[in-house]
Amino acid sequence: MSIARKLIFLAVLLMSFTDIQYISATQTKQFTPQKYSENSQEPETEKINSIFHDVENALSSNDVDLLTQHIFKQVKLTLRDAENGYFSENQAIYIIKNYFTTHKVINFKFTLSRISAEPPFATGGGYWNMKGKQEKFQVYITVTERDKRWVLAQFIIY
Amino acid sequence: MYINITSIKNALRNSKSTYLILSFCLLILAVSLAFESIYKNYLENNWKVLESSYENDFAYKIQSQFSKYQSATSDAIAQIAQSPEMRELLSGDNNTSRSVFFEYLLSNSIPEITEELYDRNKQILSWAGNRGIITDTSFLTTKVNSVIIDGAIYSYYLISVPVQQNDTIVGYLVGKRFFDVNYPINNRFINNSVFSSTFTAGLDEMRVLNYSSDSSHQSNNDLVSIPLLNFTGGRLGFVFFTKPTLTEKIDVLHDRCTAVNRFILLCIICMVAYKFINLSGRTAKIFLKLIYYTFALWFLRYSLIWLDIPQSIMHISLFDANDFASRFGYGIARSLADLFLSSVFLIVNIYFIASHTYLKRDWASYFSSHKIKNRFILILGVVLFTILLLLLIRGYAAAIHSAVFDSAISYNEPTIVLPPLKIWMMLLSLIFLTGSLVIAVTCFILLIYDIISSQLLSKRNSLTAWITVIAILIIGSILFGISQKNPLLAQGQRAFLILLFTGTSLAVWCDREKILHNVRGNRLLILVVVSVILLVPLLDKTTRNLEHNQIELIANEISIPVDSWLTFLTNTALDELSDQKIRQVLLSADEYEISKLAFSGWANSLLSKEGNNCSVIYFDKNGKTLSEFNIGVPAEKLRGNNAGNLPTQRSVFTEEKPSNGVMIKWYTGYTPLLDGSGSVIGSVLVVVTGGRKTILRSDTPEILRTSISGKNELHYRALIYSEYIDGRLNNTNREDVPKDKLLPHWINEKYLTGNGMWCTDTIEGKLYDTYFFKEQKSPLDGSWFALGIESSNTKEYIYSYLRYLLLYSFISLVIVLLIWSIRSFSGLHYRMSFRGKLLVAFIAISLIPLVFIAFYNRHFVQERAMEATVKYLSEQSAIITSEVQKRYQVNAPVALEGLSDDQCMMIASDLNTDFNVYSLSSIRATSKPEMFDAELLDPFLSAAASLNIIWRGKEYFYETQMIGNYSYVVGYRPLIAENGIIMGVVSVPAIYKQKDIDQEIARSNIYLYMAYALSLGLSVLIGLILASRISSPIRRLREATKRIAKGDLDIKFRETGEDELGELENSFGRMTHDLKHAQDQMLQAQREIAWKEMAKQVAHEIKNPLTPMKLSIQHLQQAYKDRIKDFENVFHQVTTTILEQIDVLSHIASEFSHFARMPQRKLEEVDVHTVLREAVSLFNKYGELEFDLKMNATYSIIHADKEELRRALINIIRNSIDAMNEKGVISISTQSDGKRLGISIEDRGPGMTDESVKRLFEPNFSTKTSGMGLGLTIVKKTIDELGGTITFSSAIGKGTTATIFLPLK
């Protein structure tokens, strides 16, 4: 292979690799929630309901990704017997994933939600299995608007 | 001693061993999987039997631990109780002063155990330590007795030992220990795992234990209870633990087997990775070498991630995401430890690539010898590499941003002198990342430079090439910045980085081109220094950005109404405070338990986690207060509002009330408590207040916070909160802000709806970075809010930099020592130059006293802080004592009885200092009642304070006390009645002023750090200069010795000192001069001899053809005289002979001319492969010859005269051809090791004897019938002058091989 081809091949390979990493690392990541419509015509209530629906499904089916997709930039976490405070998107995703590895949810349902409240919130409860022991838990979440989209602002488990 | 890894390496290289090890690993894996399956079946089939066995086994272990605990406590107390001094004291008359008892106990205090001494009538005489709750004296019996008592926060284990004198009990000594923490608290002061950790320490199984005085939990089938028995077999209480479940055991089995499986897989993966690394070492092609090595490293790294190693083996907090986590790289930075591992892999990889390209080889020559004609491809290459370089810089900026914003690490915590492990780990990771970036970018810049200078420019000009490189990078940087939506770096910052990297590349280039002597061989040092210079300001800037981000977050919280959240909080708290357990306590009628109900309810509810100012009050069915707990809500206000006004049904409502001129919202919840039959047994009221100031920092003391919170608090920098209405200051949380301060006039002009604004505000001459914002729901009214933080001044900036530099210097030293140790143990020798050793010695000598000074200073700073604290406490306690007596006329014990908590709170608010007032033994009133409700502070006056203030009559006393693991200072002053009698004690604990103390320590540390860094910097600088100057004569001598070894005796030292080294240099110079003179004479003599020999040889050789010539002419003359018939033939023969001999003479003359000639050499870069091919091509159609060419060397450029080299090679090839009679195969091959090029020319001729081989290079020696025997002599001369070597090896019948080694350029 000639020198020129080697150079081009190497450069393209490195660029592709760097590009992939760049896309995943950039701070202005334009995330697209899996089940969340970006249609700006959609009423705000539908968007908020969609988030509540995703969180409920995430907890009841132990599919944490449905929940973490609605975390953007920063979120306040209060987890029973664990972390408490503001965490960045990256940290929060890992903290929540690790938390639900040890706390296996058996069932969960939101019992109350107020979209008209400031900020909109939802609360509910369920049961989980923690080290072989079944326990009751309660969840409280609020959402807020950031960069023209609705995201999780607060996630409390007590 | 060194570790013999060679044999391990050899084993792995051996394929057979590899397959054996691999098979063994797979076998273990199969066994592990089978074992898990079999054992799981065994557990499932025998669970009923095994379950009770596990329970009994664990119960037995716990009971044994408790026995040891009891015995240890009992022995410690008995030792004092049974001492003769104790007996004598208690046997003495009743006039013995109590101070004597205090002194005795204080001098015999036992760590972690409170001692209480009672007389024979069970009256308390003295104590030592925190008394906590009052001891029920009914348990003091004639024999050793123990009991466990529950408090609101702690449970205590008490042991009573009677003191006997002559079989008569003269007193009792009670030992009291914390047994359990009943409060779900886990912060830097108290850890709630006290009980669990005490009794499970050293056990294989970790299980959460809970203590209870009763067996009510026995109704829960999931719990196992074990009775705890005292010495007499009486029951002290119960320990509960969850029953081991089958699922749990299977999970444990699965975890352990998975750990084994992971380890096996890791071994297999390591073997595969090692194979690839080995392959990389064996291949000569650079491209493949780098690919194999890179693949091996990252295959291993991602395998570790996939296998979850080492976090599945080491369960430490460094693998948790709460310190740091990033989704970059698909998991390579999902925790702090992962980031560290990945950064190590990265720098190893980058260094490997660089060391095989730019740090060792000369790509400029590579490029110049491989010209690319297509300029478009070259320009495209330059553009691509520039873009890659800029992307790398951006990626690095993103990494630093992530290191700050995705972590909870406080980088700029000046109160900590030596950072904790997680900061070390993060700093190390960042320095590795920075080092990787610097190496990679430097290589890219050098690559771009080489492409431009050797390929694009028509004439090679370094200055033009560098200017072009800088221009391309700057322009590229500007365009890159414009094209980015979120560039992370400002244009100026990026330009600075570009220039910094270009400077680094220039320095490395100078080293490579040997332009500057002083930087020679210091490429790595340059890269390390640049890494440190680059990282520190970037990290510092990003950390300051984070502070601004946090302030904006707090501002956002303040500006958004939180009605729904506080309403929800109130509702939830109400539910938690009215649950079944609370009702049971109310029904139990236990006065003590009921009195603590409010606090324990608060502690176990969401209220304590959130830390809002709140109040919890329990009433009986008649509305009388049973229990109360308040944080930040004055009880008077509550009582005023609620007494007699309680609703009859559950309700939650909000009301707004003024407080100190500010409207505060009160979220009130109330619910009646009913028994099983629906009758009211009491009620609970909860009040939560919502105020903006409380968002900044609630009144809940840090010690009462139930968990470690995230990065909400800016530890050492005070935050100023201000409210402005119609342009004027309305409210602020800082007293030093003037009340007439105005809102900056331009704020309204620049306001954009919904956005806050940053500006620099001046308050009392100090600069503050202030964020101005409005409430979201009312952006158009005249109110503004501001959050300000003191601007960093120059001192703080310098401190930040110096602190990092100090830390990095320390890290670098540790890394160097580590590398040295590894190399020493591996049998490799780490060569350090004399200058390096001198430098290390100078730095070590400077550092040792610096370390001592640092330790002393640290101790000094702590002492000074302690002195300042003590002085402060002394002053404050004096002011408070005076104020208490003046304001409330507390001049007699009766008046002291009437002093209330609210009165204390008012004084504390005015004086900004919290305090406690004790009667002669116990707490009377306090400005922080919640601390006593929570049993964090002892309600009894400490023994030392009692002794010194009350019994010894001191005016002031201070001591250090402990809460959990946290120590703090308390100052005491007596409260003296009008008649001069001491009626009480005022105490001022420093625990509430910890932040101020931390700030003071921070300020002291700033100055100290600057001093240390300056000292270290000066030491290094002076050390460098001195080491350089002292070692320069040695370096000059070394260079001179090298030149002498090469034969150059023309040595002159320009400057020599006047010391011993100077004398040595002079002597050396004289010696070389004499040697040169002797050498010249010897050479002259040798030349003369050689010429004489040559002349003899010439004469001899010339004579040979002259003789037949003379004879032939004589024969011709005779034939002509004799007029022989055959004259024509004779004439022809004679002329032929004469002509032949003339040819011989001519040949002799040419040979000698070549030998004697001193040619004008034309040294240039010569590709040996090209010369060989050209030489071989001359003989391509020569007889029946074949040439087998194997050009294995990847690099074959040397510095030589091309023609001379060609002649030498042709000579050798021709000798081979002659030996093989012009038929057969001649093998010519090359190889290189990066330093030398080896050429091998092998023929399959008849071979030579050893004797012949030895004489090959002698002039006139030849194995051929023709020739002068000078060919190989000339060849050797040529090779020697090129700095190479030539050897011949031969065997009769097998042929001859010529082996040449030449130094590569």
Q: pLDDT by residue (tens digit) across B181-220?
A: 766 665 655 665 556 666 766 666 666 677 777 665 555 6
Q: Say if CB B640 and CB B687 are below 8 A apart.
A: no
Class of domain B560-694: alpha beta
Answer yes or no: do A85 and B408 touch at CB < 8 A. yes
Give the SS3 label for residue B801. Answer: helix
CA distance B771 to B555: 8
Pair A115, A49: CB distance under 8 Å: yes
A8·B380 Cβ contact <8 A: yes
**Distance, in angstroms, between A40 CA and closest chain B CA?**
20
Higher pLDDT, B705 or B911: B911
pLDDT tens-digit readout, B758-800:
888 888 888 888 888 887 665 556 678 888 887 777 766 777 7
Q: Do residue B572 and residue A91 have CB atoms under 8 angstroms apart?
A: no
- Please say if the pLDDT value at position B1216 is more than 80: yes
B1029-1082 pLDDT, tens digit per residue, is 888 888 888 888 888 887 777 777 776 677 888 888 888 888 888 888 888 888
**Distance between CA atoms of residues B1227 and B1209, nearest Å:** 13
Interface A–B counts its CB contacts (< 8 A) at 139
Q: Does the beta carbon of B210 lie under 8 angstroms from any beta carbon of chain A?
A: no
Residue B106 predicted with pLDDT over 80: yes
- Evaluate if residue B6 carries a pLDDT over 70: no
Render pLDDT for B1236-1268 as a digit per residue (tens, 0 to 9): 899 999 999 999 998 889 888 887 777 776 666
Q: Which residues contact B1244 (CB under 8 A, 6 or more apart)?
A: B1220, B1224, B1225, B1294, B1295
Q: What is the pLDDT of residue B522?
A: 58
Tell me whether residues B401 and A27 touch, CB distance under 8 A. Answer: yes
Return the residue of A nearest to B391 by Cα.
A18
Q: What is the token pair recorded at B683?
A: 């009620």
- Enter the tokens of residue B470: 């800088």
| Domains contained in chain A, CATH given | 43-157 (3.10.450.50)
* Shortest distance, CA A10 to any CA of chain B (angstroms): 10
Contact criterion met (CB below 8 Å) for B1167 and B1109: no
Q: Is the pLDDT of residue A27 over 70?
A: no
> Is residue B518 over pLDDT 80?
no
Q: Is the pLDDT of residue B526 over 80?
A: no
pLDDT recorded at residue B643: 47
**Which top CATH class is B1160-1303?**
alpha beta
Return the top range by mean pLDDT from B321-335, B526-540, B702-716.
Answer: B321-335
Q: Is the pLDDT of residue B127 over 80?
A: yes
The residue ranking higher by pLDDT, B246 or B299, is B299
pLDDT of residue B1182: 61
pLDDT at B44: 92
Least confidently predicted of A50-54, B94-98, B292-296, B581-585:
B94-98
* Closest CB from B247, B572, B709 relative to A85: B709
Looking at domain B47-197+230-236, its CATH class is: alpha beta
User: Which residues of chain A make contact with B710, given a CB cutoff of 8 A?
Assistant: 77, 83-87
Nearest by CB to residue B486, choosing from A26, A77, A83, is: A26
CB contact, 8 Å: B327 with chain A? yes
Which amino acid is residue B733, in one-letter code? N
- Out of B388, B406, B572, name the one closest to residue A88 (CB): B406
The pLDDT of residue B520 is 46
Q: What pLDDT does residue B359 have? A: 65
Indicate the pLDDT class of residue A70, thresholds 50, 70 and 90.
Answer: very high
Residue B24 contacts residue B31 (beta carbons within 8 Å):
no
Per residue in B969-1009, pLDDT (tens digit) is 899 999 888 888 888 999 998 876 666 666 666 666 666 77
pLDDT tens-digit readout, B804-853: 777 776 777 777 777 777 777 766 555 667 887 887 788 778 777 777 77
Pick from A18, A77, A156: CB nearest B391? A18
Instruction: Give the minimum alpha-carbon distance from B947 to chain A in angstroms, rounded to a whole number.
Output: 42
- Phi, psi values for residue B1085, rounded to 5°: -60, -45
Angle at B956 between CA B950 and CA B959, to 5 degrees: 90
* Cα–Cα dist A46/A33, whole Å: 14
What is the pLDDT of chain B when averaged over all its residues? 80
Q: Which of B246, B323, B570, B707 to mutate to test binding with chain A, by most A CBs within 10 Å of its CB?
A: B707
B789 vs B349, more confident? B349
For residue range A82-104, list pLDDT tens digits in order: 777 888 889 999 999 989 988 88
Residue B346 confidence (pLDDT) above 90: yes
Residue B223 scores a pLDDT above 70: yes
Q: Is B327 in Cβ contact with A7 (below 8 Å)?
A: no
CB contact under 8 A, A123 and B568: yes
Q: Does residue B900 sit in helix, strand or coil? A: coil
Res. B37: pLDDT tops 90: yes
For range B880-897, the mean pLDDT? 80
Task: Please report the DSSP string for B1118-1163 in residue order.
Answer: HHHHHT-TTHHHHHHHHHHHHHHHHHHHHHHHHHHHHHH------E
> Is domain B832-1044 given the CATH code 3.30.110.40 in the classification?
no
Report the distance separating Cα B606 and Cα B609, nearest Å.
5
**Rounded percentage of chain B residues whose pLDDT exceeds 70:** 82
Compute the distance between CA of residue B612 and CA of residue B1288 in angstroms, rounded to an integer: 93
Cβ–Cβ gap A119/B560 under 8 Å: yes
Which of B346-350, B658-662, B727-731, B835-839 has the highest mean predicted lDDT (pLDDT)? Answer: B346-350
pLDDT score at B514: 64
Which position has the higher pLDDT, B986 or B961? Answer: B986
pLDDT at B460: 66
Write down the pLDDT at residue A29: 37
- The domain segmentation of chain B, as residue ranges, is 47-197+230-236, 336-412+422-546, 560-694, 832-1044, 1060-1151, 1160-1303
Alpha carbon of A139: minimum distance to chain B alpha carbons (Å): 11
Q: Is the pLDDT of residue B637 over 60?
A: no
Shortest CA distance from A116: residue in chain B: B564
Please check whether residue B862 is in contact with residue B960, taking contact to mean a CB–CB distance below 8 angstroms: no
Fold match flag (B47-197+230-236 vs B1160-1303): no
- Interface check B223 vs A, CB under 8 A: no
Sheet holding B680-690, edge to edge: B625-631, B614-620, B680-690, B662-674, B651-659
Contact criterion met (CB < 8 Å) for A14 and B488: no
- Give the tens place of pLDDT for each residue, B1271-1304: 888 889 889 989 999 999 999 988 999 999 999 8
Residues 680-709 of B with CB under 8 A from A: 707-709
Residue B636 pLDDT: 53
Q: State residue B729's pLDDT score.
A: 84
Compare A24 and A52 and report the one with higher pLDDT.
Answer: A52
pLDDT range class, residue B88, cuts 50, 70, 90: confident
Global pTM reads 0.71
End-to-end CA distance of chain B: 38
Q: B323 with B340: CB under 8 angstroms? A: no
The shortest CB-CB distance from B388 to any of A14, A98, A158 is to A14
- Closest chain B residue by Cα to residue A25: B328
Partnered with residue B732 across adjacent β-strands are B722
Interface probe for A, chosen from B185, B551, B564 (most Cβ of A below 10 Å), is B564
User: pLDDT for A100-118, tens place per residue?
Assistant: 988 889 889 998 888 887 7
Residue B8: CA count within 13 A, CB half-sphere: 6
For residues B440 and B446, the answer to whether their CB atoms sit within 8 Å is no
Give every strand in the sheet of B154-165, ordered side by side.
B124-128, B114-119, B168-181, B154-165, B145-150
Minimal-distance CA residue of chain B relative to A117: B564
How far is residue B139's CA from residue B841's CA, in Å, rounded to a whole number? Answer: 68
Task: Give me the torsion for CA of B1010, B1011, B1014, B1017, rounded to 10°.
Answer: -100
Please name the member of A14, A21, A27 whose beta carbon is closest to the beta carbon of B486: A27
- Inter-CA distances, B1215 with B702, B1208, B1271, Å: 94, 11, 9
What is the widest separation between alpha-carbon atoms in chain B? 173
The rounded percent of chain B whose pLDDT value lies above 90 is 11
Range of lowest pLDDT (B382-391, B402-411, B520-529, B640-649): B640-649
- The whole-number pLDDT of residue A32 equals 31
In chain A, which residue's Cα lies nearest the Cα of B246? Answer: A132
**Closest residue in B to A131 (Cα–Cα):** B248
